[in-house]
Amino acid sequence: MGRHSRPGPSNQPSRAVPQIDPDDPLAAFLRRRRPPMDVYRRHRPAGGGATHVRPDEPRVLESWDGFDYVPEGTAPNLAAAKRWADGQPIPDA
């Protein structure tokens, strides 16, 4: 593997760049509406800082609305926020 090779099999396309249909007249517009790195749901620590620090603190949940990330609610800890980001419901505390 060279210095600038991406990880993974060489016969698969990169997952970092979304596939765009060249025949679609709205392809450029739709590309701008996609969230960064195709992350539609994300979580942030309520007090700021890195996501792995203090995993027992509350998290702010955000989802992509086509233009920006908007707040969706809160999660009691990192584990519940990760479940929500994966599309699973947050259990009641």
Q: Report the C-alpha gap between 26 and 20 in whole angstroms.
A: 10
Q: Determine the structural domain holding residue 55 and report its residue range.
A: 40-93
Percent residues over pLDDT 90 in the chain: 31
Each residue of 63-76: pLDDT tens digit? 988 888 999 999 99
What are the pLDDT digits (tens) for 40-50? 899 999 888 88
34 in a structural domain: no
Residue 14 belongs to a domain: no
**72 vs 33, 48, 75, 78, 93, CA distance in Å?**
19, 17, 10, 15, 18
Domain assignment present for 15: no
**Would you say residue 72 lies in a domain?**
yes
pLDDT tens string 10-52: 666 555 556 677 788 887 777 777 777 778 899 999 888 887 7
Structural domains in the chain (count): 1
Q: How confident is the model at residue 9 (pLDDT cuts 50, 70, 90)?
A: low
pLDDT at 19: 67
